[in-house]
Amino acid sequence: MSISVNKNPMEFHLFNQKISYIIRVDEETGEVLSCYFGKHIQHKDSYSYLSEKIERPCTTSLVEGNHKSSLEFMRREYPDFGHGDFRTAAFDIHTEVSGSICEFKYVGYNLFKGRKAVQGKPHLRIENEKDAETLEIILVDAVSKVRMILTYLILEESASVVRSVRFVNEGKKPVIIKKAMSFSMDFRDKDYKMLSLSGTWARERHIEKSLLHPGVQSVYSTRGTSGHTFNPFFALMKENAEEYQGEVYGFSLLYSGNFLGLIDVDTFETARVMMGIHPQDFSWKLNTSEEFETPECIMTYSSTGLNDLSQELHKIIMKHIVREEHRQDIRPVLINNWEATYFDFNEEKIIDFAEEAATLGFDLFVLDDGWFEGRNDDTTSLSDWNPDLSKLPEGISGLSRKVKEMGISFGLWFEPEMVSKGTNIFETHPEYLVGHPMRKRTHGRNQYVLDFSNDEVVELVFGMMEKILTESEISYIKWDMNRSITEAWSMNLPAERQGEFYHRYIMGVYKLYEKLIDAFPEVLFESCASGGGRFDPGMLYYAPQTWASDDTDAWERVKIQYGTSVVYPLKTIGTHVSAVPNHQVGRITSLKARNETAYFGSFGYEMDITKMSEEEKNQVRKHILFFKEKRQLIQHGDLYRLLSPFEGNIASWMVLSKDQKEGLVYICQALAIPNAPQIRIKLKGLNEKSKYQVVGSDHWHYGDELMYLGILFNEHYFESADNVQFVLNHDFRTYLLEIKEI
Ligand code: GLA
C-alpha cells in the first residue's frame, strides 16, 4: 500500500496490490480531476494523458481564450455548480458575499500513516497505523476563506478507498453548507448496471438491477433513518459482470440517517457517481473556525464479480467497522418472545418460556416490547421505561435474575428514540418532541419522535436506560426504531438552523450508543427499525448485529438474506425461526426449512416453544446443537452465493472455512416441479486438488469436480456424491450439504 505523488503537475496515485486510484490537479485551472479507479496498475511519473481535453461547441470556458478549459467535460473529483459544469454538483455552499458562487482551488496536500482521530460518529477503525494511509487534498475558496479537505484513506489489504470531506471556515463570516456529499467521482463511461438493495417493511434489501441511462438515477432516504426503501449502498457492474466475473464497484455509506446515492449520466456518457447526506432539508451553518465533516463512504472494486466485492465488504465491516469485542466472538443463540406472545404476557408465562428455552439449548432469552408500564398495545407508554409491575411483579431486575439462574442470559427490548401520548415526557416536556409547536405532528404507529438533536433528551433517556441496566442482569439490548421522522423541527434550534436537525438527530442516536457502550461494554446490541429499516454500516459500528426483517417466512427470508449478504457479513444479520402459518405471509414451511434458512446469520427463534410437541422440541434441540457445531464456520467463514432467488426457483449459497477444509452448502427450492430437469449446482472457493467428502456419502470428489462439474440436484432425488436419496416432493424444501476435506 502506498500513496505516490507526482509533483509537476500534482498527481496522486493511491494503490495496494489490488487497486489503483488516480487523481490529478489540472495545471491550468486548479481543478481536481478523476483519472482512474480500478485494478492495480504500476506507478508512472505522469498521468497527464488521463485528463483528455476537448473543444466542443456551446460551452463556457474557465480560462480566457482557451476553449478546452470547460468544466462541462472534465471528469471531476468533487464538482461544484456555477462555473460551467451543468451536471449534479457534489456540494453547495452559500456565503454572504456571493451566494452560491464559490471557487475552490487546489492549494496543497497532506499525507500520513493511519488516519486522524474521529469523535462521536461511525468511521473506519484503524487500530494499527500500518494498516492504512491517508491523503488529504486541500482546496480553498479565496473569497470566503473556506477550506475544503478531500480525504482519501487506503488500506493495506482491502480493495477499497474510503472518502469523506471536511469543511473548515477560516473566514470572518459564517457560511451555509446546503449540500455536502461524502464523495463524488466521474467514471469514464456509462456501460454499467446499477445494483441496489431496495424494498419495504417485510421485504427488505431485494436485489434490483437496471442499466444506466442518460440523466439521474438514485437511491435515497428522507425518513430520518437509512430506511427500508433503499439501503445506503449501490454497485455499478460492467454490463458483462455477474457474481463471479467482470468489474464491479460498490459504494457503501457509513451513515444511518437521510442519504442520497446518485448517478448522473451526461450526454457524453460520463457517469458521475456520488453519495452522502441527502440535501433535502439539509443546511449547516458554519461559523468562523468551525468544521463540518461528512460521513465516510467506502468505495470498493472487484475485477472478478459481485461475490468478490461482497467478500471485500464483509472483511472491511468485520475488521474495521464492528467493535473489536464483537469481531471474533460467538454470538448467542437467542429466543425472543415477540411473535410468541406479542403484548400478552406475565411473569409466569415468561418464566415458563425461559425455562423451556434453557432446556432446549438457547443461550439468551430476549424480552421484547410490552414490559413497561401500561404497554398492552402500541398506543401507549414509550419513554416511560419503568417495568410494568402488574405483569412483572419483581420488575426487570427480578425477572432477569431468575432467568440467569436458569443458566441462560437475559436481553431486553427498548425503543429509546420514541414517546407515546400521555407519558411523563409527553406531558411535562413537550419541547422534547420533534415537531413545530404551532403545527400538527404526524404520528406513526401511534407514536412520536424524541428530539435526539437535543443533548438533554439524550441524557434523559440514557439515565432511564442506565437505571434498568444497572439494576438488572442484562447482556443484550434490542434497540428498535419504529417510525419515520416527519415535521422535522427541533425546539432547541433557532429557525435558521433547522436544516441541521436530521444530522444532529442521528448524531444524538450515535451519542446514546456511545454512552451506553462506555457504561456497559459487555452488552451486545442488536439494532432494529420495524425489522430491517436501519440496516447500515453506521449502526454496525455500534450494534454488531441488525434484525434483518419482521418477515421470518423461510422463502421470504431467503431473498432478504441473499440481498443483505451483498454488503453485510452473515454474522451481522439477525435471523430467526418463527411459527407457521407465518405471521406476515401466511405461508407454511417445514421447521427444517425455517431452521436451515435461519442458520445463516446470528441465529435465533421467536415462537412459542412452550406449545410445541415433544417431537418438535427434540427437533429444535437438534437444530440448535447443529447450529452450535457450525456457528464458527457460518459466522467466520467466507460466503459464496451460488443461485439467486431473484432469478429462479432455486436459491443456493455456501460458506467455506478460511482454510478451505470445511463447507456448508444451502439449497432451497421454492416451488416443487413435477418431473423436473436435472440441475447441477457448482460449488465455489474449494481447493481444486483437495479431496472432499460430502458428509453422509461414502465417496469423495476433488475440489475441481465439485466446482466445475457440480453436485446433482433435482426435486425427486438428491445426489450427495453418488449417494442418491429419494426425497418427498414439496414446496419450499431446503437441503444442507456438509463438505469436509479428507
Ligand atoms: C418492531 C420490531 C419487532 C418487534 C416490535 C415490537 O416491529 O421489528 O421485532 O420488536 O417492533 O413492538
The 10s digit of each residue's pLDDT in 432-463 is: 999 999 999 999 999 999 999 999 999 999 99
pLDDT at 647 over 80: yes
The predicted-structure confidence for 159-210, as pLDDT tens digits, reads as follows: 999 999 999 999 999 999 999 999 999 999 999 999 999 999 999 999 999 9
Residue nearest to atom 6 of ligand 1 (CA): 369
Catalytic annotation, pick one of 550, 551, 553, 638: 550
Pocket test for ligand 1, best of 530, 560, 577 (most atoms within 8 A of CB): 530
Residue nearest to atom 2 of ligand 1 (CA): 530
Nearest to 294 by CA among 312, 304, 282: 282
CA distance 393 to 448: 29
Answer whether 370 contacts ligand 1 (Cβ < 6 A). no
Pocket test for ligand 1, best of 550, 557, 576, 577 (most atoms within 8 A of CB): 550
CA distance 568 to 535: 9
Which residues are CB-neighbours of 37 under 8 A, at least 6 positions away?
19, 20, 21, 22, 161, 185, 249, 299, 301
Mean of per-residue pLDDT scores for the chain = 96
The predicted-structure confidence for 254-295, as pLDDT tens digits, reads as follows: 999 999 999 999 999 999 999 999 999 999 999 999 999 999
Describe the crossing of helices 395-405 and 455-471 by its angle, rounded to 10 degrees: 50
Quote the ligand 1 centre to 472 CA distance (angstroms). 22
The predicted-structure confidence for 551-607, as pLDDT tens digits, reads as follows: 999 999 999 999 999 999 999 999 999 999 999 999 999 999 999 999 999 999 999
pLDDT at 308 over 90: yes
String of DSSP letters for 208-264: EEEE--SEEEEEEE-SSSS-SSEEEEEEEEETT--SSSB-EEEEEE--SSSEEEEEE
CA distance 509 to 172: 32
- The model's confidence at residue 723, banded by pLDDT at 50, 70 and 90, is very low
Residue 393: CB atoms within 10 A of its CB come to 12
Answer whether 369 contacts ligand 1 (Cβ < 6 A). yes
Which residues are CB-neighbours of 412 under 8 A, at least 6 positions away?
366, 367, 371, 396, 400, 468, 472, 474, 476, 477, 478
Using DSSP's 3-state secondary structure scheme, residue 556 falls into: helix
What's the pLDDT score for residue 727?
54
Answer whether 417 contacts ligand 1 (Cβ < 6 A). no
Q: Are the beta carbons of 235 and 194 closer than 8 angstroms?
A: yes
Q: What is the DSSP letter of 506?
A: H
What's the pLDDT score for residue 95?
95
Residue nearest to atom 11 of ligand 1 (CA): 530
Answer whether 37 contacts ligand 1 (Cβ < 6 A). no
525, three cell numbers: 446490541
Catalytic annotation, pick one of 363, 480, 536, 551: 480
pLDDT at 722 over 70: no
433, three cell numbers: 418532541
Answer whether 338 contacts ligand 1 (Cβ < 6 A). yes
Q: Are the beta carbons of 483 and 449 closer than 8 angstroms?
A: yes
CA distance 148 to 325: 35
Quote the ligand 1 centre to 534 CA distance (angstroms). 13
- The model's confidence at residue 726, banded by pLDDT at 50, 70 and 90, is very low
Nearest to 655 by CA among 571, 579, 593: 571
Residue 728: CB atoms within 10 A of its CB come to 8
What's the pLDDT score for residue 328?
97
Integer CA distances (angstroms), 496 to 166, 284, 477, 483, 493, in order: 22, 9, 37, 26, 8
Quote the ligand 1 centre to 352 CA distance (angstroms). 22
pLDDT at 706 over 90: yes
- Taken in order 691, 694, 697, 701, the sign of the CA dihedral is negative
Nearest to 630 by CA among 550, 571, 709: 571
CA distance 701 to 711: 10
Q: Which amino acid, 300? A: T
Q: Residue holding cell 441496566?
A: 469
- The model's confidence at residue 697, banded by pLDDT at 50, 70 and 90, is confident
Catalytic site residue 550? Answer: yes
Q: Residue holding cell 464538482?
A: 79
- What is the average per-residue pLDDT within 652-670? 97
Pocket test for ligand 1, best of 338, 344, 417, 525 (most atoms within 8 A of CB): 338
List the strands of the sheet with 638-643, edge to edge: 638-643, 650-656, 662-669, 733-741, 691-694, 700-702
CA distance 210 to 696: 42
Answer whether 578 contacts ligand 1 (Cβ < 6 A). no
Question: What atom in ligand 1 is closest to the CA of residue 368?
Answer: 10
Describe the crossing of helices 501-519 and 455-471 by its angle, rounded to 10 degrees: 30
Using DSSP's 3-state secondary structure scheme, residue 428 falls into: helix
Quote the ligand 1 centre to 30 CA distance (angstroms). 53
Which residues are CB-neighbours of 213 under 8 A, at least 6 positions away?
265
Q: Are strands 230-238 and 248-253 parallel, antiparallel or unpaired?
A: antiparallel
What's the pLDDT score for residue 646?
98
Answer whether 531 contacts ligand 1 (Cβ < 6 A). yes
What's the pLDDT score for residue 46?
95
Q: Residue holding cell 468544466?
A: 71
Nearest to 306 by CA among 231, 228, 389, 244: 244
What's the pLDDT score for residue 699?
79
Answer whether 482 contacts ligand 1 (Cβ < 6 A). yes
CA distance 275 to 259: 7
Q: Which amino acid, 326? A: H
Quote the ligand 1 centre to 554 CA distance (angstroms). 18
Strands (E), 517-616: 524-527, 545-547, 573-577, 602-605
Residue 696: CB atoms within 10 A of its CB come to 11
Nearest to 247 by CA among 41, 14, 50, 38: 38
42, three cell numbers: 504500476
- What is the average per-residue pLDDT within 56-70? 93
Instruction: Report CA 407 to chain centroid distance, whole Å.
Output: 33
Which residues are CB-neighbours of 105 under 8 A, at least 6 positions away?
30, 139, 140, 141, 142
Q: Which amino acid, 343? A: F
Q: End-to-end alpha-carbon separation of the chain, Å?
A: 37
Quote the ligand 1 centre to 343 CA distance (angstroms). 11
Quote the ligand 1 centre to 316 CA distance (angstroms). 29
Nearest to 33 by CA among 116, 106, 86, 101: 106
The predicted-structure confidence for 470-495, as pLDDT tens digits, reads as follows: 999 999 999 999 999 999 999 999 99
202, three cell numbers: 417485510
pLDDT > 70: what percent of the chain? 98
- The model's confidence at residue 158, banded by pLDDT at 50, 70 and 90, is very high
Quote the ligand 1 centre to 34 CA distance (angstroms). 45
Residue 250: CB atoms within 10 A of its CB come to 24
Indicate the helix (H) or strand (E) that contains 86: none
Quote the ligand 1 centre to 531 CA distance (angstroms). 7
Question: What atom in ligand 1 is closest to the CA of residue 478?
Answer: 10
312, three cell numbers: 471485500
- The model's confidence at residue 721, banded by pLDDT at 50, 70 and 90, is very low
Pocket test for ligand 1, best of 203, 341, 480 (most atoms within 8 A of CB): 480
Answer whether 606 contacts ligand 1 (Cβ < 6 A). no
- The model's confidence at residue 718, banded by pLDDT at 50, 70 and 90, is low
Answer whether 26 contacts ligand 1 (Cβ < 6 A). no
CA distance 152 to 298: 10
- Taken in order 620, 625, 628, 629, the sign of the CA dihedral is negative
Question: What atom in ligand 1 is closest to the CA of residue 528?
Answer: 8
The region that residue 741 occupies, defined by phi over 0 for left and psi between -120 and 50 for alpha, beta otherwise, is: beta
CA distance 578 to 335: 10
Residue 680: CB atoms within 10 A of its CB come to 12
Q: Residue holding cell 444511518?
A: 256
Residue 402: CB atoms within 10 A of its CB come to 17
Indicate the helix (H) or strand (E) that contains 12: strand 10-15
pLDDT at 714 over 90: no
What are the residue ranges of helices labelled H in 229-369?
A: 306-320, 338-341, 347-360
Quote the ligand 1 centre to 530 CA distance (angstroms). 6
Quote the ligand 1 centre to 723 CA distance (angstroms). 44
The tally of CA atoms less than 13 A away on the side-chain side of residue 440 is 2
What's the pLDDT score for residue 54?
87
Answer whether 296 contacts ligand 1 (Cβ < 6 A). no
CA distance 384 to 280: 33
Answer whether 264 contacts ligand 1 (Cβ < 6 A). no
CA distance 509 to 258: 13
Pocket test for ligand 1, best of 342, 343, 369, 418 (most atoms within 8 A of CB): 369
